Structure 1
């Protein structure tokens, strides 16, 4: 398998970590998992050639580079385990996790110092090449295997069916990536036990695929935010013509000062929410300008088109709004309204937006133009 998979996977993981940074730094709930992602990306990066080349200028010898990266990876694995446990609401194991990490680091330092003088901390390809004893690697790999397996299982346990779908998929993808890291340590233990050259080419690709899975799991919330923002922008623009016509006729419903610069600086979700409120308030003000005859004409037009229920309700609303605007602009006085023109009740803001978008589409439709013509002819 090509070695570039590792570079692509790690680069993708860094990109996702940077994309999630602004929201994670503001949210105490998301911060632990984000820090875990950064720590994982950092640990993976320590093994890339450009990083080790940079370390060669900072650390006195290859032996100390190897030992430093190994000790940092233990700290990283413990931190990731603690952050994931913390994100899952399990706060007590911190002393156990970091105590175990400190113990493992102490053992690694002891085994390194007590070993014969050696140039690198690498698995020795032959007895003639001096290096640290195999016990060093058994301790090092075993700690990573336990930490990563625990992280992966916790992520999968949090991705239960009662968890929201997007979060569930994200946790499972992220957990799968960490369990692939466990596979990597199993492969390294197998290589340590057998010395077979068949295992060595698998290390880099498995690391890359592991990083891609974790990046995909971490990216799902970002993609969800992008999708939500796209839907909000589409809805905001879709309601624009209806909002303009209604608020021009009832300017008192506009919330706050009409400063366009200040309004544009507000978050899109807030602007959309205000637009929905202003449209609804305008509808309440305009319904007193609708005559029973105009409502009857609207319903006959809808019946003639044989529209589905939701579309029919939206068309009726668009038609009586057209009639109300026509009456207002023609100078007709308001009158008490006995008909129920509020439209269907909405369970939440999303339902309300979807209903008003259907009204906006109906308001701009050729059928509404035909209704307007019939209305003028009736008057």
Structure 2
């Protein structure tokens, strides 16, 4: 069941790295995170059999592959710790991280070169098998354990601050959990180093997979929430389109930025939606001058007669008087100044305003308003 967990986790990491690549490369703030994810994915990938097989054809000695992988892993651990400290505004310690990483790499190379000739840099099952000394592994594992534990604890501590947005808070916790799983992995490897017990080895791969999945989820969560928000903006923008088209056709002066569609498509969707909300509201203010008190009373009776649910009644009333105003304008009625507050008091924030206008837009296409529109046409003829 857990045999493919490591592969799944590494694939998830690469997927997140590829999806975040455009933003990670362009944004100075996002670049360290993206670089750290790529480094983690690369370090984990070098342990996979297909990658090892490719490297074996490129490098004459497996020993050099192992040493390079370990040195690369130190860079990976330092990169992640550097990013976390930067994000937590602890920049003074980044020089210490870089210095420690370079020192550990130098020591590992020295221990490797000073050791007796050996085919692989692996923990020897017995003293009779030539390999690097145990000091090599103690230093290697201790560096990772210290770096990863620090990263995980900083992530969790930072996520508890009240100023952190919910998406980032949960993302940090997922990311921190993944890093702390890596710490558990190093503890198990230290236990294996001290005992050489075969009990620990089968746990390494699934734990690595779980670590990768949690890290990928932590990095992807804010991005997915952002994508969900963009999708919601697009959906709202399209939902308001039929109402908006009819209103701005009757009151073209309310359009804030007339232009071709290609130019409009380059404007961020949040700004386009905000403009559409303003233009609808401005058009409602213009069109209310075509509505008399008698029409307003008639609209209320029409909606009441159709037994519209209470929470939708106001939206249907607004859609009906807008329909009446458009009809009056089209038939040449002269607008008159009036004090009716037909446009409503407005919402407390943009999200609430969008929801309110979407209810009006839905009512505008409803059978109740369609019947009212038909009655106006019949009355006119």
TM-score range, shorter chain: over 0.9
Residue 194 of structure 2 corresponds to: 193
Tell me by how many angstroms 1:374 deviates. 5.3
Q: For the Cα contact (< 8 Å) 1:36–1:84, is it kept in 2?
A: no
Give distance in 2, aligned partners of 1:327 and 1:134. Answer: 90
In the TM superposition, what are the counterparts of 1:246-257 in structure 2 within 5 Å? Answer: 246-257=247-258
Residue 30 of structure 2 corresponds to: 30
The TM-score with structure 1 as length reference comes to 0.94
Give distance in 2, aligned partners of 1:228 and 1:251. Answer: 29
Residue 322 of structure 1 corresponds to: 323
Q: 1:25 to 1:304 in 2, by over 3 A?
A: farther
Please give the per-residue CA displacement for 1:113-142, whole angstroms capped at 9, x wherever unaligned.
221121111100122111111111111001
SS at 2:91 equivalent? coil
Give distance in 1, aligned partners of 2:279 and 2:190. Answer: 65
Please give the per-residue CA displacement for 1:93-118, whole angstroms capped at 9, x wherever unaligned.
01111111122112212221221121
Residue 102 of structure 2 corresponds to: 102
Residue 167 of structure 2 corresponds to: 166
Residue 337 of structure 1 corresponds to: 338
Please give the per-residue CA displacement for 1:22-63, whole angstroms capped at 9, x wherever unaligned.
223333332222222122111111211222223223434111
**Which runs of no fewer than 5 residues in structure 1 stay unpaired?**
none
Give distance in 2, aligned partners of 1:266 and 1:94. Answer: 39
Residue 213 of structure 1 corresponds to: 214
Answering whether residue 37 of structure 2 is matched by residue 19 of structure 1, we say: no
Tell me by how many angstroms 1:306 deviates. 5.7
Residue 352 of structure 2 corresponds to: 351
Give distance in 1, aligned partners of 2:247 and 2:27. Answer: 38
Tell me by how many angstroms 1:342 deviates. 2.4
SS at 1:332 equivalent? coil
Give distance in 1, aligned partners of 2:259 and 2:107. Answer: 68
The TM-score with structure 2 as length reference comes to 0.93
Aligned length, in residue pairs? 379
SS at 2:125 equivalent? coil
Give distance in 2, aligned partners of 1:158 and 1:215. Answer: 19
Tell me by how many angstroms 1:377 deviates. 7.2
Q: For the Cα contact (< 8 Å) 1:145–1:186, is it kept in 2?
A: yes
- Of the structure 1 ranges 125-134 and 19-28, higher mean CA displacement relative to structure 2 is found in 19-28
Residue 51 of structure 2 corresponds to: 51
- Of the structure 1 ranges 283-292 and 54-63, higher mean CA displacement relative to structure 2 is found in 54-63
**Which runs of no fewer than 5 residues in structure 2 stay unpaired?**
none
Residue 236 of structure 1 corresponds to: 237
Give distance in 2, aligned partners of 1:302 and 1:90. Answer: 62
RMSD in angstroms over aligned alpha carbons?
2.0
Give distance in 2, aligned partners of 1:143 and 1:280. Answer: 61
Tell me by how many angstroms 1:232 deviates. 1.6
SS at 1:347 equivalent? coil
Tell me by how many angstroms 1:161 deviates. 5.8
